[in-house]
Amino acid sequence: MLRNNIGQKGAVKSNMSEYNDSYPNGHLLVDVDWVERNAAREDIVLLDARREGYAQGHIPGSISFDQGRLKDDTARAVVAAETARDLLESAGIGDDTTVIVLDDGRGPAAARLFYVMEYYGLKDKVKLLNGGYAAWEEAGKPSTNVVPEPARGRLTNVRAQESLIATKRHIQSGIRDSLLLDVRSAEEYSGENKRHNRHGGHIRGSVNLEWTEALERDPASGVTFFKSYGELLRPFQRLNVASDKPIVPYCQLNSRGAHTYFVLRLLGFTDIRPYEGSWEEWGNAEDTEIV
């Protein structure tokens, strides 16, 4: 498998250029060496989306960013464009910025941030750090607890890309030839685990592929990375996911769905429309069909 080979702490042999080249959209995924070489560039902004740990240590120059602020929980929607612009500009992001997002490598936070920024027009301007901060730390790269004060950026064209999102109405009216992709656990899909929802189960016609299938833990370092191209693509092929049809990932709150959005982008799929309301909406509504 092509990836960073990490043995003891600080000893890293990087195969990332070859690893990235094996993905159709390998430019969306970077490794710790790439970040170390480029982090000081004026056009680079690093957003650390971890829920905890930033104060104890982070990549020098990186900014703590709570991706939850980009979600309107009441409306079960992405925040309005003006709110998103203000939050992103406050983090130093402007029209000419390349953004690197990271989390702990095991969760969907960075991918959720990636999705929302692409939804608001920053397509191909956002990259995700493979392995997250855990990979950075394991590689013995420098860390700090100094919190930077970024200069405010300027974004002139933050606009919702409606082709990158699905709503309850879209699903009920039928997105032509689409594939509904339930990326929750098998227990949530079957209805065995209802979580806090009124109803358990799934949307009729959807297929189940848990989002964690895209990840694997390196046995030597314990760091979680994305699988190689062939291994990442295989389960989608098994489900007959086609590149010429809309794919609608959903989960509970479109965090895990956003992670699958990133994976599908990495694999070169072009028509991906996460259901933002996801099961939080569908599983608690009066007018939805549940299997």
Give the pLDDT band of residue 20 (cuts 50, 70, 90). Answer: low
What mean pLDDT do residues 19-44 have?
A: 91
Higher-scoring residue by pLDDT: 242, 165: 165
**pLDDT at position 174, please?**
86
Query: Does the pLDDT value for residue 13 go beyond 60?
Result: no
For the chain, give the mean pLDDT: 92
Q: Which two tokens stand for residue 225?
A: 């990375």
What is the pTM assigned to this prediction?
A: 0.92
Give the pLDDT band of residue 21 (cuts 50, 70, 90). Answer: low
Q: Which percentage of the chain shows pLDDT scores above 70?
A: 93
What mean pLDDT do residues 74-99 have?
A: 96
**Exposed/middle/buried for 15, CB within 10 Å: 0-12, 13-18, 19+?**
middle
pLDDT in tens, 196-220: 999 999 999 999 999 999 999 999 9
Least Cα distance to 183 among 272, 67, 65, 284 occurs for 272
| Domains recognised in the chain with CATH numbers | 5-138 (3.40.250.10), 162-282 (3.40.250.10)
Within a 10 A sphere around the Cβ of 26, how many other Cβ atoms? 17
